Amino acid sequence: MEVMQLPQGRRVATARRSLTGGWALVSALGVLLGMAPAASWMTWAVHAAECGSRGEACHGRAGRPLHVPGEFRSVQDAIDAAPDGATILIAAGFYRESFRVEGKRLQIIGSDDGRAEITAPGPDVMLATYANGGGGELKGLFFRGGDCAVCGIYDGSSIPSALVVKDVTMADGYRGVFGGFSSLILKNVTVFGTRWHGISITHVGVELKFEDIEVHDTGGVGLLVFNAGPGDIDIGGHFHDNAKGGLEIIGHNGAINLVFVVADHNPEFGVFLFEANAGMTLSDLSSNGHSTPTGCHGAGLLVEQSSVVAVTGTVFSANCLGIYDSGSTVAIGSDIFDSNAADLGHEPGLPSSIDDLGNNVCGENLGSPNETLHACQDLTLDLQPPSPDNP
């Protein structure tokens, strides 16, 4: 095809005419070489002619997704070639690799026709790393192994951009999600079988929103938020059978809303709030704690050094303790306490306030109002230091 030195519009028109004129030749070559149908080839060629010298950048912005492994051998190759805002589609299969996104927002989506699994090349490898303004969306992928499945690099001066993770499973690594994020949304995400915490957030810039997540059978806490950041936190999900506890938030300065949280069968606590003001509603904390030679250890809700924690419409059942208050103010209302070793209590010698907002707490272990507030005053929990050495 002759390329004429014409203005861009006329050059494209010439390319179209040349391609159309060579239709029969293209069709014949397609049949002989086993290529895609001539119409598809022609569409790609016209697209390339329109892009001109813009090359691969135009490829992404024109709406054609980048395909792995059809066009790129690895996810990282596709990321390097993709412009900001592009979509990368990963076919079903197993990929022994890791990738890093910096300075752009990309949609990285797994196949609808089968599992697209990203497997760590080694135990210390970060699988999907976001840094220096990298962000976008991860969807429909399965991550296995590695130091963390989704990792946010925050060094105090730069932070990943907003990231949305949907329909993703993370298994068998050291952690599932780890690090700092300017904004992180998880929806329909499952994390299990990690050697340490399932999800470990070290910094929240603007927003942390978890919906319909499940974290279970981890070697630490199901979800840990460990920072003094200002970002708002909204959490809903199921946290169960974790080695340390269900959900733990330490030292957070933003608003915390726990709605539809289910935390059960965790040996230390269902939910632990330390220096973190929060509201909890429509939740279920059950079967948390474990037996010891001297009694029962653990609580459904453990609150320490927090100014205001309001709990409404929540069920506390079969825990060692329903709610344990250590130097905090806790308000309860329209909650149900059932078959806990003790329903409410506080650490002796520390300021404590547990207020019944509506005088409508019900449960078989409650006696007089005074007994309600001091039902477990003599029960020792042997609280562990709240600051983890390695979040």
In this predicted model, what pLDDT tens digit does every residue of 72-129 receive, in sequence order? 999 999 999 999 999 999 999 999 999 999 999 999 999 999 999 999 999 999 999 9
pLDDT at residue 377 in the model: 39
Give the pair of three-digit tokens for residue 207.
């927003």
Using an 8 Å Cβ cutoff, are 243 and 222 in contact? no
Is 330 among the domain residues?
A: yes
The reply to whether 283 falls in a domain is yes
**Last residue within a domain, chosen from 54, 74, 90:** 54
Q: Which pair of tokens denotes residue 56?
A: 């691969």
Give the per-residue pLDDT at 349: 61
Omega of the bond leading into 348 within 30 degrees of 0 (cis): no
107-144 burial, b at 16+ Cβ within 10 Å, e below that, comes to bbbbeeeeebbbbbeeeebbbbbbbbbbbbbbbbbbbb
Three-class SS of the chain: CCCCCCCHHHHHHHHHHHHHHCHHHHHHHHHHHCCCCHHHHHHHHHHHHHHHHHCHHHHHHCCCCEEECCCCCCHHHHHHHCCCCCEEEECCEEEECCEEEECCEEEEEECCCCCEEEECCCCCCEEEEEECCCEEEEECCEEECCCEEEEECCCCCCCCCCEEEEEEEEECCCEEEEEEEEEEEEEEEEEECCCCCCEEEEEEEEEEEEEEEEEECCCCEEEEEECCCCCEEEEEEEEECCCCEEEEEECCCCCEEEEEEEEECCCCEEEEEECCCEEEECCEEECCCEEECCEEECEEEEEECCCCEEEECCEEECCCEEEEEECCEEEEECCEEECCCEEEEECCCCCCEEEECCCCCECCCCCCHHHHHCCCCCCCCCCCCCCCCCC
pLDDT of residue 337: 84
Residues of the chain with confidence (pLDDT) below 70: 1-62, 228, 347-387
Report if residue 288 sits inside a domain: yes
Is 185 a member of any domain? no
Q: Please state, in angstroms and rounded to a whole number, the distance separating the CA atoms of residues 222 and 270.
A: 10
* Boundary of a domain, candidates 54, 79, 98: 54
Does residue 356 sit within a domain? yes
For residue 327, give its domain range.
196-391
Q: Number of structural domains, the chain?
A: 2
Q: Is residue 107 part of a domain?
A: no
CA dihedral 225, 231, 237, 243 (to 10 degrees): 0
The pLDDT value recorded for residue 353 is 62
Entry pTM: 0.80
What residues contact residue 324 under an 8 Å CB cut-off, 6+ apart? Answer: 299, 301, 302, 303, 345, 346, 347, 376, 381
Among 38, 54, 70, the domain-final residue is 54
* Per-residue pLDDT, 5: 43
Does 111 reside within a domain? no
Residues 216, 235: Cα–Cα separation, whole Å:
16
